[in-house]
Amino acid sequence: MAEDGNRRCPACGSARIVIHPELHRLTIAHVDCDAFYASVEKRDRPDLAQRPVIVGGGHRGVVATCCYLARMKGVRSAMPMFKARELCPDAVVLPPDMARYREAGLKIRRLMRALTPLVEPLSIDEAYLDLGPEAGAPDSRASPAQRLAALARRVEREVGVTVSVGLGPNKFLAKLASELDKPRGFAVIGTAEAAAFLADKPVRMLWGVGPAFERRLATDGITRIGQLQSLGPQALARRYGRIGAQIAGFATGRDPRRVTPSRPAKSVSAETTLARDERAADRLAELLPPLAERVAARLAGSRLVAEGVVLKLKTADFQTLTRSRRLKAPTDRSAPLIAAAQDLLAAEATGDTAFRLIGLGAQPVRDRDGDPAAPDLFGTG
């Protein structure tokens, strides 16, 4: 992606000019709202426009999200609130209002689906879009890039928040591109430049490389994607099996996954790795509400309800524990998820074991549309 400050768009006069040789041929996009919860709060409270805003729990809670002014001070999601206040003492701290966030997220989803029927939600505030010819998009005269720019303007005008757009030949590169120019960005990674772009990046950027496999690669002296490119697919497959063959493709910018709007979800989850191993039950319990809020937002954005809750804990020596409980009624609200997870946590966090990761999942899940057995969908929590 490139911007030329000496040129302006002849249609709207903007100086934000995107120049790329593949710009009008690429069809896969990742659209991600910028600091979504905080942006909705600023939209509804104009007096906060120039103030750092943190959305999350009280002094003993954790950060759910924060605006970019707070991020410039070092505040990050899942950070303890006391630490966030130390880094950004002038921040306005607000409790999450999931009803308003869901309303804004669903409006954005409708705008996406007016652009193309091939929309694959990842959460209430981000999704993949396929604007290729097979998508049957209503306006075929404009290129995908032009239609995405119009979508970003329409979201800003009609919903009052901004989005960042990543455009590429596949889902992997589109998602990477969407993170390059936040906030309010439009970035492109094309096929021709993909391998060179990825070469000096850390292996953890590859889809499918989690912390455990990253450590395994590091043990073998592999920390950069370019090293995987040099080894090639056959060597990686021999050394690491099926996952080796998979990452060989991603390392050179290939991704066979399609945008699948009707993908059946079996579970929805969120987790966080702790900065320090933790034994205290009360400290671990403080991490559950923001995880539950993230899960609830993803459920609502995908029009799903949870029938059960799963608690995931990873010990200091990397042993994984999972505990589950069925819910009394299907839900996409955070309060029942938190309550069930807290009960599960109380039985495990006795002070004898230190944990390095905690996660919360909704499993099983099902489509909420027309579900008469979900009485609390519009209740409290």
For residue 82, the one-letter residue type is: F
CA distance linking residue 381 with residue 370, whole number of Å: 21
Distances (CA, A) of 6 to 3, 12, 15, 27, 224: 9, 15, 7, 28, 36
The residue assigned the tokens 């029927």 is 117
Lookup: tokens for 284: 């671990």
* 32 has binding-site annotation: yes
CA distance linking residue 5 with residue 288, whole number of Å: 45
CA angle 260, 114, 164 (to 5 degrees): 75
CA distance linking residue 198 with residue 226, whole number of Å: 7
Determine how many CB atoms are found less than 10 A away from the CB of residue 219: 8
For this structure, is 126 an active site residue? yes
The residue assigned the tokens 């929309």 is 119
341-342-347-351 Cα dihedral, nearest 10 degrees = 120
Cis amide prior to 372 (ω within 30 degrees): no
Give the strand pairing for 126-130 and 28-33: antiparallel
> What is the DSSP secondary-structure string of 89-145?
TTPEEE---HHHHHHHHHHHHHHHHHH-S-EEEEETTEEEEE-SGGG--S--SS-HH
Question: Which of these is catalytic: 41, 120, 126, 293?
Answer: 126
Tally the C-alpha atoms within 13 A of residue 318's C-alpha that lie toward its C-beta: 4
**209, 251 in Cβ contact below 8 A?**
no
Please name which of 272, 270, 274, 289 lies closest in space to residue 341, comparing C-alpha atoms. 289
The SS3 call for residue 201 is coil
**255, 230 in Cβ contact below 8 A?**
no
Residue numbers annotated as active site: 126
User: What residues are designated binding site for Mg(2+)?
Assistant: 32, 125
User: What residues are designated binding site?
Assistant: 32, 125
